[in-house]
Every structure is written in structure tokens, then in C-alpha cells.
Chains A and B, each alone.
Chain A
Amino acid sequence: MPTWQKEWPRLERGGGTSWGDTTAPTTQIGTGSGAWEPKTLGTKANLDLEPGMSRAPPSSGAPPTSTAQASCGQAGYGQFGQGDIQNGPSSSTVPTPRLPGSQPFGSPLAPAVSQPAVLQPYGPPPTSAQVTAQLAGMQISGAMAPAPPPSGLGYGPPTSLASASGSFPNSGPYGSYPQGQAPPISQTQGHPGVQPPQRSAPPLASSFKPPASGGPRMPSMTGPLPPGQGFGGVPISHPNHVSSPLPQALPPGTQMTGPQGPLPPMHSPQQPGYQLQQNGSFGPGRGPQPNYGSPYPGAPTFGSQPGPPQPLPPKRLDPDAIPSPIQVIEDDRNNRASEPFVTGIRGQVPPLVTTNFLVKDQGNASPRYIRCTSYNIPCTSDMAKQAQVPLAAVIKPLARLPQEEASPYVVDHGESGPLRCNRCKAYMCPFMQFIEGGRRFQCCFCSCINDVPPQYFQHLDHTGRRVDAYDRPELSLGSYEFLATVDYCKNNKLPSPPAFIFMIDVSYNAIRTGLVRLLCEELKSLLDYLPREGAEESAIHVGFVTYNKVLHFYNVKSSLAQPQMMVVSDVADMFVPLLDGFLVNVSESRAVITSLLDQIPEIFADTRETETVFAPVIQAGMEALKAAECAGKLFLFHTSLPIAEAPGKLKNRDDRKLINTDKEKTLFQPQTGVYQTLAKECVAQGCCVDLFLFPNQYVDVATLSLVPQLTGGSVYKYACFQVENDQERFLSDLRRDVQKVVGFDAVMRVRTSTGIRAIDFFGGFYMSNTTDVELAGLDGDKTVTVEFKHDDRLNEESGALLQCALLYTSCAGQRRLRIHNLALNCCTQLADLYRNCETDTLINYMAKFAYRGVLNSPIKTVRDTLITQCAQILACYRKNCASPSSAGQLILPECMKLLPVYLNCVLKSDVLQPGAEVTTDDRAYVRQLVTSMDVAETNVFFYPRLLPLVRLRIGTKSPIESTTELPAVRASEERLSSGDIYLLENGLNLFLWVGASVQQGVVQSLFSVASFSQITSGLSVLPVLDNPLSKKVRGLIDSLRAQRARYMKLIVVKQEDKLEMLFKNFLVEDKSLSGGESYVDFLCHMHKEIRQLLS
């Protein structure tokens, strides 16, 4: 008690004021939302003709029309004014940064024009409301097609653009077109043809300045005046567009152009020109075309467009017009980063995970600990079912906090232990209601009335609060810890400090790659940095095991002159051969340990043993901890499929033929039940397993990672490990992994107020019953996603409460309880639900749900389920919350406008749609990783960050310190400028993409080579050069790495290089090689689904 009492005053002050403050904000928000609401409703796609027209006028009508497209954008923005930050500005911000970049190549205006034109239709809604994202689906566009001409000037530009794209598809069918035009076109269009022209392009490019707009386009630019060429040049992007809206309607040809349509305008002034031409030319062409005719008939399915007869090809969707993740992120940053997030108010939606903000704990757990899919829960299960929005919380109980935020206070209630509700066993928290003058309290979860023990009694003030409320963390904070008593300990004995056991594969492969030597060398110094929790010296004991097909334990007792090796070859019946001297204090046994680590590489230097065991190794570690009666963590460094005769022996069962069959799921399932059993034993002992894999070939990650997964451990995989290339990454991961603070032997329980109940859990843990999440180990990176379901009505008044209690043993061997409390609102209106959702969290849940699904269902089923659920969510919104409008309109709730793009990323991920180069192990690995990811990680993992670098140099005066401030661009190839350099990261991978026409000076200052062609492709380290750009880029890379739980190895990719294929996989808005839809296509797909649901 005294400890925190001392510090408490500080808090009290803060708390007091902030309470006041928070109320203010709420009202604000309230008003804000109120203000917004109408807009939301108002916003929708205006592309549809009739209704759109009616609505459109206000928004779109004015500016876009005739005013040169150039101006209209601005005008539009002007209209919406600064007042509304959301869409207006966003759209403007996007283009503006681009401008400088594009300038060299052409007039800034032109691009601006084109964009706004596109935007405008949407513009109005956005400005008016958060809702923003309404999309004219392709159908819409189709429907629109007729419209544009009528709307004429107003829509002219957009339509033209769209149609341009639309027309392109046609280009395919138009056999004549290419022919007529020029040979180059055909080349560009045909995929094979694409490359040659490109190659030829560079020289041309040099002569022409314009090339900037992008490699592919080059050829089109140069040669052919005809519009078609311009588009043709962009073969890469075609795939997506046209096809999606009306698949039948638009034969292959359609795919070609779609994307480019929009692009060119943005970047190069000249292109618009072409486009227009195209439009012109194609536009007319379409009508007559038989092709289109036929498809459209089919269109009726969509129901909506009766009028919009189909004569015209579908309208291209402008990528800039569809909701942009970048925009949303930027907006949130701008709006919410400046003010601390104060948790005093129930049901507040926190800032996005991409926003850098401070949290003040005033009674609810920080979003760093808990994030919910919705902060406003439907009162009834019927409502919840109707909305289909999963109710889930992503909980990271031991999340690391920024330095500015205090870690949870530790409350010591002495021998009596923490105060709990007698009935539901919930822990004392700020929501507990003290009554009868403070002599009793009513449980906020189960309403049971409990006596306050005499030693805890305190009087209440006039508001009914205990007068000591601010002196007690458990009465005023959302997160805090209790010191646990022996009742909370295994065998009623206070725990011993945990132990770390390093278990090193010393088979031929591990030796040959230099892994063992590297590792041993590193451990020598790393052991000084074991987590110590403020103590002078870490309490953690360490032990060492090496193994191939037998195990070698080491006695490193401090009294020995030399370490002793003990070989256990009875792998069938593993046991620990020694007790004393195996787990030692690092500083006491320093000399012996050093000697051991020096000798291990020597002892096995000549080994020829290639076979390894695996399960017995874990078994051994677990038995060692059992013998030492402590919890702990095993660090396994393993290289190969364990084929030696022993329990858990595996066989190579990798079979690509299973992909896309009903048996595909078996690839994700463990081969044998041994590991499940083993994991269970490990969990019982509090033995967490971290696995570092260094495979050269298939090792069956699905099976090997089972124990780490179930014990709350981590898996790291370094395929084809080579010291020169992977040392940095491995060591960095290792250091971080060893040093990170871990809670051991943990049990997590989530209690909820009556009405909802935690029913499902996702993450790395074991559950032996339906309520207790057992975690042998839990670190600050691990997340548990919990899904809730109604089992009764909730009360709007009292809201819904969550209490997550984590009982664990700290690194110092202290038994503690960490409590996180979170109060949520409850609603009777669906609109409230949709207004308080968090898409990032939703995606986290859905990804985990799907990734678990692949274990039991065919992947197709899993994908369909996701799509259906998403469609249902959106359809429900459309039906119940959006104001009536044409079915042709896609209306997305503001909070979920990114749901389609993100969901598409999930669907395209390696697990759900593997590319040809993705191995089974990779998939299993990723599947495993995602299971424990928090919201921020899933966010960037599924939608990578793509940061333009050169612009960064030019555009900002002061060096950018925090990467979070960096404006990213959307993950699409269209967004890449060949004159720029980009960094792309997704939390696991880091690419530096170099455009082919990057200025020499830039090349020189970054790579220290004279020209683009001299840059080594696949480079993983940037040379350390003393110039601002190099420093800045390297600094940026470092800070990106620092943000992530795993070290991201850099890969330098040159435009048009082989490696680029790899890179392109991460441009998630584009159509993927493995068949994943582009963002635009998917959006259309989704729209279709929604319409089907609505009809």
C-alpha cells in the first residue's frame, strides 16, 4: 500500500481534472456525431442516375460540371470547407503531395483536374458526412454510363474516365483497334509484349521527360499518339477492373485497361488528353458493340438498374474514389493524435492503431490492452444477429506501454488477497457499487451484494463514492495489478523464479550454416540482458541443451572448472538427467557458461548427424522445469524435419496437390497427436516454448509450431538461413525475444456483466475448459481475441462491462493478477452500433476466425463465409441505417468503409489464397503468427505500408522523426512512380523499391553506385553513407524495425527486376498473381453480394 500511496497524489490530481475534461469532450463528440449524422445519411453514391441525380445536385452538381475539371476539384473542396476534415481534405491531401512528384513530368493542373472530377461525385457525400464511401459499383457505372453523357459537363470528366477504362476492355474485343492503331499497342497489350517495349522504353524515357508517370506507361506515351496506347502501356493493372462489375458482360478484353484509365490522369497531364480521346472514341464505339449488349441483359440481376440500360459498358471505378486506407489513417492521425485519449467515458471509440496517441487511464483499460470491434453493443441478441457484426475484444494483457504512460500499479492487499465478488469472483474494480454507507458493495457484473471486509471499509462521499477512491488503483483505474497470495499459486506454494532453457540443434545442418557458432557467441553477451523487472540482477535461471537425435544436457554449476555434458539417448522416454547445475544463475556460473558456449561449436564441428528429434526436446525442457519446480521458457533452435526414431517423429507430407481440395486443411493440422499432448503437459508446468526454425526444406511448421502456439510462445522462421544474410535478423529477433518481459504460468479469465458472455477465444494458448485461457507464457506482443455472444438482454443504462483478469508469475517470480476493466455502451439502434465500430479490430477478429477455420473447413468455405459475413454486415447497415437510395449505390458505414479493402487483403493472404511460390510451411507459419497478432499488427500485415522516400526528402524541411507521421501511399502499383523510391513494410517484410528513373543523385547517395543499373538487386543492407538522404532512409528503416515485434529484413527491389514479382505480392490493392481480386474488383463483388442480400 505505501508504495502506491506515495505516488498516488499525482494521479489524483490528474484524475480529478481529467474527469472534468472528459465530460466535456463527450458532449463535443455527441454534438459532433449529431452533426455528422445527417450527413452520413445524406452521403451516398451519386453515380446512380435517377436518385443520384436528385441527390447529386447538391454535392456533385455544382463544381464538377463544366468548370474545367481542373478547378472543380478545388472548388469542391472549397465548398466542403475545412470544417469537414474527412473526405474533402483527404482527397485533396492525396493529390497535393503527388503534385510535386509529378510536376517534372507535366502540368500539375491536369492531374488535379482529372482527380477531382472523379472525386466529385463522391465528394459531396464525404464532405457532408463521415459515411463517405459510397461507391458506384460497376453496375452503377454501367447505369451511369448513360448518365454521363446526359450529365454531360458535370460528370463529363469522370464518366469519360470511367468509360475510358470501360472502353479499354473493349479494346480487347476490338480486334481491329490494336491493329489499326499501331504495332506498339498490340505489344503493350499482350502481356508477353509488355516487356520488350518497356525495355526499349528506358532509353526513350531518358529522352522524354514525361516518363515519370511510370515505367509501363512509357511506351504508350512515347510512341503512339492514339489514346489506346497510353492505356495499353499499363498492362499490369488491367486485370482488375472491368471484369469485376459485370463479369459476363466484359470479356477478357475488359480487364486490360481499367485501372489505367484513372491513373494516367493523375500523373501525367498528357494522358488525360488521351483519355478523353479514348472516351470519345470508345464511348461511341460501345453502344453499338454487340458484346456489351449481351452482358447487360444479364445485368437485371442487380435489380436496380432498370433504367440504366446497358448499352454502355460498365463504368470504371476510380481507385481514387473508393475509400482509401491511407486517407482514413491520415485523417485519424490529424484528428486524434494531438489529444490524449482519456478513458473515463464509457463506450468511447479509441483512435486508430495507426495513430500515435497517449492514453490516460481514468477507469477503463487503455486501448493498448483491449480493443473492441464495437464500443456500442446491441442490447439484444436479435439485433446482434441482424447486424452480424462480431462482438469481439482483442486483449493484450501485458501490452508494452510507451514511456510516457505508467505501467499498472501493483496493489498489495496482504494476506487477505484481492477483494472479489463472492458469487462471480470478479475482482474489485471502479465499477463496483458501494452501498449502505460503504459497508457493502454490489458487484457490477453479477449484482451480488457482498460485505466489505472491515480492513477494507471506507466511508462514502455524497456522490456515493468511497472517499479513498482515488487513493486506490482498483477503484479508480481501468488497469492495475494485485499481488497474489499463495491461494493463487500452484500447490499453494509461492513460485520460484522462472528459468530459460536454450535448446540448440547441433545436427549437421545447424553446424554447417554457422548457426550454432553464431548463436553461442551471441548468447554469451545476451545472457546479461535477461528480463530483470527493475531488480539489479535477473532472477531467471538458465540452462542449456543441445541435441541432434539424442539430447545433450549441460551441467554448468558454478563450482565446476569445466561444463559437463550429459547425453540422454533414451528419446522414447525422455527425462532430465540432472538437477543441480542444470539451471543456474548466470552471474554465478558465468565462467562455466562462457566455456560451454565456446566449446559447443567445437564439440560438434565434425558432426555428421543429420537426423533430429523434436518432441523429446520439448519434453526434456518441460521435465527440467518440472524437476526444478518452476515455470519458464524454452528457446528451441531447430533446423530440420524431425525424422529420427522418437516420439513426435514426422514424415514429409507436404503435397501441393492438396491445395484447393477438401484435404487442404490437413496441411495445417498437426501430423500427430503427440504434440497436443505434449503441449498440454507444458501448459500444466508453465513451460512456454519459443521456436526458432532454420529450415532448408519442408519442416512441417504446422506440426512443429503447435506446442509454441499452445504454450503462448513465438515461432520464428528463417528459411535457408545463412549467417551472412540472416544474422542481423536472427540476432535481433533473438535479443528481443530473450529480453522481453514475460508472464509465466498464466491463466486469463474474462468476466462480463450479465447479458453477454465470452464464448470463443483466439490466440496462442491452451484451454482445458470453456472459460479459462491457460498460457504457459505470455509476453507483451501476444494477443488473445475474445468473442462475445448474448445470453440475455443488455441494459442501455448500465452498459456492458468486461473484466479481464490475468493471473501470472512475473519474471522475478512474483505471482500477480493483472486486471483490465472496460465499460461499453449498449444500444437499441443499429446505427449506434455501426457508428462505434472499429474496422481494424473487426479485421483482426475475422482474420483469426478465418485462419482457425482453415483447420477444419475447405478454404473456399472459409473465404465464402468471410465474404458473406461482410456482405451481411454491410447490407444490414444499408437496409437499416442508410437513408433510402438506389440499390445501385454502394453505401458503406463510415466506420467500416475500409472493411471491403481490408477483407480483400485477408482473402488474398497467403493462407487463404496461396501463390505458386508460397510453401506450405510459409502458410502454416503465417497462420500461426496471425493468431496472436494485435490489431496494429494485423492492420499493417494485411495492408502494408508503402512509403515514398524521395518525396520525403524533398518535401519536408525537418527530418521526419516519427514514421507514424509519414504519409504513405496506397498499396498499388499505380501509385509507384518510377522516379521515386519506396519502402514497403508489413511487419514481417521490408522492401525498398527503386524506380527505374530515379535521379542519379539519389542513387548515389543511397547506394553509393553511379546508376540504377549498378544497384544490386536483392541487397539487404544499405551502405552507411554520410549524406542526409542516406541517413534519413536508414533512420527510417531503423525506426520501422523498432516498431515491429520482429526484425524485418530489408530487400532492395529494382523496378522491372525479377524480384519485383515478390514485391508486387504486397501491393494488395492490385490483382494478385495468385488470383486475388483487386480492390476495385472486390468492391464490386461485395456490392453485388450486398445487392443480392438486399433484393
Chain B
Amino acid sequence: MMATYLEFIQQNEERDGVRFSWNLWPSSRLEATRMVVPLACLLTPLKDRPDLPPVQYEPVFCSRPTCKAVLNPLCQVDYQAKLWACNFCFQRNQFPPSYAGISEVNQPAELMPQFSTIEYVVQRGPRSPLIFLYVVDTCLEEDDLQALKESLQMSLSLLPLEALVGLITFGRMVQVHELSCEGISKSYVFRGTKDLTAKQIQDMLGLSKPAMPMQQTRPAQPQEHPFVSSRFLQPIHKIDMTLTDLLGELQRDPWPVTQGKRPLRSTGVALSIAVGLLEGTFPNTGARIMLFTGGPPTQGPGLVVGDELKVPIRSWHDIEKDNARFMKKATKHYEMLANRAATNGHCIDIYACALDQTGLLEMKCCTNLTGGHMVMGDSFNTSLFKQTFQRIFSKDFNGDFRMAFGATLEVKTSRELKVSGAIGPCVSLNMKGPCVSENELGVGGTSQWKICGLDPTSTLGIYFEVVNQHNAPVPQGSRGAIQFVTQYQHSSTLKRIRVTTIARNWADVQSQLQLIEAAFDQEAAAVLMARLGVFRAESEEGPDVLRWLDRQLIRLCQKFGQYNKEDPTSFRLSDAFSLYPQFMFHLRRSPFLQVFNNSPDESSYYRHHFARQDLTQSLIMIQPILYSYSFHGPPEPVLLDSSSILADRILLMDTFFQIVIYLGETIAQWQKAGYQDMPEYENFKHLLQAPLDDAQEILQARFPMPRYVHTEHGGSQARFLLSKVNPSQTHNNLYAWGQETGAPILTDDVSLQVFMDHLKKLAVSSAC
């Protein structure tokens, strides 16, 4: 049974990019709420499907205006009458004329069960160009700026020739570079302190007047070029050289920065202008604003910290003490921008490379609401940034960019279900409808979301509510269905629609609890619950979130654990739930919920990625993976536990954000002694090399590129490992556990064992 469910889950994930917390659905609202973990799924709308060639026609929609579901394999089809019945609203629809030849043996792909996920290519309509607007901070150190310039120049070669590019640079001023002119380079300059309205920006850039003299002189242009052109956004094939030179000549912000001051950085205005520019020129066209910044905004709207160095940038401590004077205003500014960008289908990336914070906390909404990337590094002159940035422009098996723009995700549910909300890189489109639940989880109150930028791994958590009443049981064997319709602008500039229709069986909780239990996907559930927790953490106090998570866990254990009341030792969980508490243990310690030792920027960064990665990556984030390398055998995954830290092992830990290679004490001594260089110890050399190779493999694949840490016993960077492992041995219980195994962790945190003991106690207690 278990095996089948694992296979089923995996198969569904492969095919539809969907993982549900429950794969058998409780058939009544009441029972569903008692299941503790909500009915929800992780959806990867554009999951790579190399095996799924898109069909070159458009989908057939249900004719009921409130439904508009897409014809799918679950629909009942009357081949004689050339009718189909919508499986969501039961509307009977005529097939369009092009389906005249339809028959049981001549079915269109969308009716075949294996095409529960299908992608349509919309041929008509204007082709929108890809637009990349670079917004570059020039308040950088010389070598940083140089590295950034090189990266940007490199990126030009990666863009498709028809892509439109634009350049905005900022420091104390904001410069919008006009790319169309030849010879002399021209830019429009804005004061970095002034909050300009969209209208003002467009006026000043000469966008509001269609009769710009420059364009008037070339009336033929619009015809030549499929896209309406702007002086600031030009096809790369035209201005490749110009832009390369322009980037090459980019100077550090020339305004003097006196001792004890931060450079004046007008990030807020720069972003505002970028948004305004695209809004004025390419509304509702996929576009990517790429903000490269090397420090916090220090002036104008959106300022995060003043320019006095003696006043440090806000910390969590300040925020808790309500001492972050600019935070609310700045956040509001960036939220306004993010919403405008999202409305127009533009996504905003932030590449922040600095040793100190750069204001990601305030700016996070820009990326989070628009589906942009957030990359945080120490310097632009690091491989972390360079490779991550390069990876943005990687291509898939078809040679298309692994990025899509301006997507809308619509969710349709069968009558027993309603959608409560979504958590991920999206904004609500506020589409009310019959399948919208009143109970919101995440971003709710709508059946449609806008995802301005997404890639094949972008994953949303979507939460549902079973609305079927207990007293109106669903017929035995009937299934609930959900359809995800994702319309997006493919990087090939064509519009595409991907439709995924899934169905699951209803089950009666009372009679089929075990089946339901078996159909529990604890990994998906952990991630979905974690997303809820992180979502709450954005607006609630940390301890409250933890309490909420604990309560949910306890309730789940009470519900699905097997135990005798008041007897913790009797407590057992079935296999389907066995890992779940451990996930929760690590989640509680994770940087997504713990802000201790993290800056607000770091927290924002971690949460940003957590809210958009797919299940596998999310799980790694929750509970890092630890491999052990030794002479005792092949590399093996080991417990994320201090007991795994042994002197004669090399450990490789992947936390998603960091790859840590840790040499045990003995190994480190050996290495220092140089054994690896001796021919007779070649095996040692190999042993040392093995984790490096494996790490490299991970580094190659991951976006964003993780921080790579190579350390050893006693090394300062060993903290990365020590902070993650379950502190089964601490200075408190060291003697009890003996000295031979593992490494004690200097912490007061509870260990997994203690956590579990408490959990059991609480679960079996009747007090809860």
C-alpha cells in the first residue's frame, strides 16, 4: 500500500507538478478540519515536461461564464452529439467546429488521461518581446562595480537578439539611459530624493506624449519592428555594442562620500522610475526589472537607513522594539511599486551584494509579489553572484529560457471544494467566483493569481477547503477535481496556456481513516504547513507562530497517533506520519521561523526562497541533508545529528543556501600532515575529493548558487554545521552520552529527543 502511494505521489508529481497533502480527500467539511493539516497542494505550474510537446491550438473552454473550465480528460463526452459536459459545473457544451471529426478513436489530446497536464500555444495576438531592464547601483567599490559590469556585459550575450533591454543606473541620482542614439550617449537624470508619480516620470521621460519629435521623424519604425519601441528599451541586436560600451564606461557614483557616511543611494527612486518606465511603455507585457544593488537605500522615498554610518541599519532587535524608523514607510513605498509592477505584469529581481544589509526586508515584496528573483551575496565579485546571475539565463532542452512572464494562475474546483488561498510568488487578481472560499489561507479571496515571473521550479502552495457538508455524503467512488489553468508569456514570446486537471477520490473519514492516513504525503504536508507558518511569521510575532505550529503538530499526533491516554511511551505514529514531527522540529529551528542570529535581510532572503521552491528543495531547507564520507564504506546519508560528527568522517551538508564540507578532527589532521599528497595514501586523496565532487554537482544545479563552505573540526565556519544538527549532545548532557561519539554542541536548544518526548507527553495528555 505504502509503496503504491509513494509511486502514485511521485508519478503525479512527475506528470502534473502537483503534490497534495492528502491524496484521499475527506468528504466532509467537518472531518476535513479535524485532519489538522489542510487539504492543500504544492503546484509547480511550469514543471519541466520534456516529454510533453505543447499542442498548437487553443483550449476549449466551458461556455458557462462563471466556469470557463478547460476541456479535460475528466469530462464526459458524447461523441455522437459532439457534446461535452464540464466536470466542474456540469454544463453541456458543444464542441467547436474544428472538433467535428472527434470520435472515440479520434480523440484530441486533452481528452486522453495521460494528458491531465497539457500545454496550448496561442498563436494569435501580438507577440510580446522579452524585456530586461537593468537597474544598476553605482555606489559600489571599484572591483565590485567592475565585476558587475562584466556580468552585465556577459548577460547581453545570453539574451535573445530580439529582447528589449534598458538601463537605469543610480547612486545619488538616477539615470535612465537612452539607448537609441548613436554617437553620444544620452541619459535622463532624476534626483534621488524626490518621490515622483508615475505620470511625472513618464512626462519627464517624454513617454506621455506620443508625438515625441524623435519618433515622429521615423514614422516607419513601428511597422519595421513588431514591437512598439521606446528610446529607453531597444532590441539588443541594435544596441549591443552601444550598451556594452555604455556598461564599460559606467563610473562609480562620482559624488563624494565623506568620512563616516554611507554613499547616497536612491534605490527607491530608481525602482520607481523603472516601474514607471515600463508601465508607460509596455503595460501588460512580460518584463523583468533587474535591480543590482550594493547597499541600502539611503535617501529619498524607500530609504532604509540614513547616511550616517554611526547609525546602524535596523536589526530584528530594533524592529521588535519598534525602533526601525524608516521601515514602515519604506516597505509601503516598495509595496506600492511591487503592486504596480505586478498589475502590469512586470517582475522585479533584486541582486543585493554587500557585506551589510541592503534593505531586502523592505524590498522583499518587490520580488515576492512579482515572482522576481532575490539573490543575496557578499560581493558582485564572487562566483556566488556571477554564477547565479548567469543561471538566470540558462535554457531548457528546447533552447528556451527557463523563465516565463506575466502568468495568471486560475484554479477551478469541483463543487465539494473551494480554494482558500495561495502562498508563493504571486499577487491576487481578486477574482471572486463560486469556487472561492471565505476562509483565507495565504493570499486568498480569489481564484486567480498573477505570477509575473516564474520558472520551471516556481512552486505555489495552494490551499483548499472541503465544503461538502457532513450530512450530504458524496457518492461512493466519486472524485473531486481541481483544474489549474496557467496562462503565461513563454520566453519564445508566444502566449501559452498550461492546463492541469487532477482528481482524487473522496473518502469517508470515519470509515476510511486508515486509507486517508496512508494517503498522507508527509513531505508535502510539512512544506505546506511550513509555508503557512512562514506566511504567518511575516505578520505575526515569532513565538506565536511557533506555538501555532506546535499546536498543529500536537493535534495531528493526537489525531493520527496510536497511544494509550496519558502514556507517552505507548505513542506510535504510522509510517506515513513518522517523519513529520522531525520536519517540524527542524522547521522550528530553521531561519524561516527563527530570527535569532539572522539579520532581517537574511530572514527575508530565506523566506523568499522558501516560499517559491519545489518540494524537494523546500525539504532540504527545512531539514538539511547530511552525507558522511569515510573509509568505512561508500558515502551515506546520516542523521542530522551531532552524533554524526565524528573524527574520522568527512561530512557534506546541504542546507540549500549553504554547502558545507566538514573534515572530522582526524581527517583534518591527516590533511594537514599532507597524507593526501603521498602516493601511498591516494585513497585518502580520493576520500577528500569525493565530497568536493558531490558538492560541485549540487552547486552546478542549484539556483541561487549556495554559499560554499569548506571547513574542518574546530574551524570557525564549522558553526554552519553545528547550528543545524540536532543537538543530541550538548555541554549539558555530554557526560551522560560519553565522549566517544559525536561532537557536543554548545547550545541550550532542545534536542530532537527532548522535543519528541515532550510531544508524546502532550499528545497523549487529555488536557489538550
Contacts and interface: CB of A to CB of B under 8 A. Distances in A.
Q: Which of B186, B189, B191 has the most CB of A within 10 A?
A: B189
Contacts of B183: 562, 599, 602-603
B681 interface: no
Given A570-B191, A577-B175, A608 B216 contact: yes
B185 A562 contact: yes
A579 interface: yes
Contact of B175 (A566, A595, A609): A566
A566 B213 contact: no
Contact of B254 (A553, A569, A580, A596): A580
B190 interface: yes
Given A569-B205, A608-B216, A562 B189 contact: no
Contacts of A596: 184
Nearest to B205: A569
A566 B194 contact: no
Contact of A608 (B206, B213, B245): B213
B742 to A, nearest CB: 59
Interface string B193-209: 01010000001111000
A564 B185 contact: yes
A338 to B, nearest CB: 60
Contact of A561 (B206, B217, B249, B255): B249
Residues of A in contact with B, size category:
20 to 34
Contacts of B186: 552, 564-567
A562 B184 contact: yes
B276 to A, nearest CB: 13
Contact of B217 (A564, A570, A606): A606
B666 interface: no
B184 A569 contact: no
Contacts of A550: 204
B617 interface: no
Interface in B549-570: none
Contacts of A575: 173, 191
Contacts of A552: 186
B189 A606 contact: no
Given A562-B183, A577-B175, A603-B181, A567 B254 contact: no
B105 to A, nearest CB: 66
Contacts of B206: 569
Contacts of A570: 190-191, 194, 196, 204
Interface string A389-408: 00000000000000000000
Contacts of A573: 191, 194
B493 interface: no
A563 interface: yes
A581 interface: yes
A480 B217 CA distance: 61
Interface in B590-604: none
Contacts of B189: 553, 566-568, 577-578
B387 interface: no
B188 A568 contact: yes
A906 B477 CA distance: 112
B669 interface: no
B251 interface: yes
B249 A599 contact: no
Nearest to A563: B184
B153 interface: no
A560 interface: yes
Nearest to B251: A580
B284 interface: no
A63 B153 CA distance: 102
A633 B197 CA distance: 35
Residues of B in contact with A, size category:
20 to 34
Nearest to A602: B183
A606 B213 contact: yes
Interface string A542-570: 00000000101100010011111111111
Interface string A237-269: 000000000000000000000000000000000
A603 B184 CA distance: 8
Contact of B185 (A565, A577, A607): A565
Nearest to B174: A577
A579 B249 contact: no
A242 to B, nearest CB: 64
B187 interface: yes
A912 to B, nearest CB: 45
A565 B204 contact: no
A579 B255 contact: yes
Contacts of A580: 251, 254
B191 A565 contact: no
Nearest to B249: A560
Contacts of B187: 564-567
A578 B173 contact: yes
Interface in B143-198: 173, 175, 178, 181, 183-191, 194, 196
A531 to B, nearest CB: 27
B181 to A, nearest CB: 7
A544 to B, nearest CB: 12
A561 B185 CA distance: 11
B325 to A, nearest CB: 25
A564 B254 CA distance: 14
Nearest to A560: B249
A607 B254 CA distance: 31
Q: Which of A563, A565, A568, A580 has the most CB of B within 10 A?
A: A565
Nearest to A580: B254
Given A570-B190, A603-B181, A608-B213, A577 B173 contact: yes
Contacts of B214: 606
B184 A607 contact: no
Contact of A578 (B184, B205, B254): B254
Interface in A578-637: 578-581, 595-596, 599, 602-603, 606-609
B280 to A, nearest CB: 13
Contacts of B188: 566-569
Nearest to A577: B189
Contacts of A564: 184-187, 249
A564 B214 CA distance: 18
Interface in B215-258: 216-217, 245, 249, 251, 254-256
Contacts of B185: 562, 564-565
A230 to B, nearest CB: 67
A616 to B, nearest CB: 13
A190 to B, nearest CB: 58
Interface string B723-748: 00000000000000000000000000
A580 B217 CA distance: 34
A995 to B, nearest CB: 53
A599 B184 CA distance: 8
Contacts of B178: 567
Nearest to A569: B204
A697 to B, nearest CB: 22
A550 B189 CA distance: 11
A685 B189 CA distance: 23
A580 B205 CA distance: 24
Contacts of B213: 606-609
A601 to B, nearest CB: 12
A563 B188 CA distance: 14
A937 to B, nearest CB: 42
A414 to B, nearest CB: 31
A577 B183 CA distance: 20
18 contacts: A563-B184, A564-B184, A566-B175, A566-B186, A567-B186, A568-B188, A569-B203, A569-B204, A569-B206, A577-B173, A579-B255, A599-B183, A599-B184, A606-B213, A606-B214, A607-B213, A608-B213, A608-B216
Given A564-B185, A567-B189, A569-B188, 19 more contacts: A550-B204, A562-B184, A564-B184, A564-B186, A566-B175, A567-B178, A567-B186, A568-B189, A569-B204, A570-B196, A573-B191, A575-B173, A577-B175, A578-B189, A579-B254, A596-B184, A602-B183, A606-B217, A607-B213
List 4 tightest A-B contacts by C-beta distance, closest first.
Answer: A577-B189, A580-B254, A569-B204, A565-B186
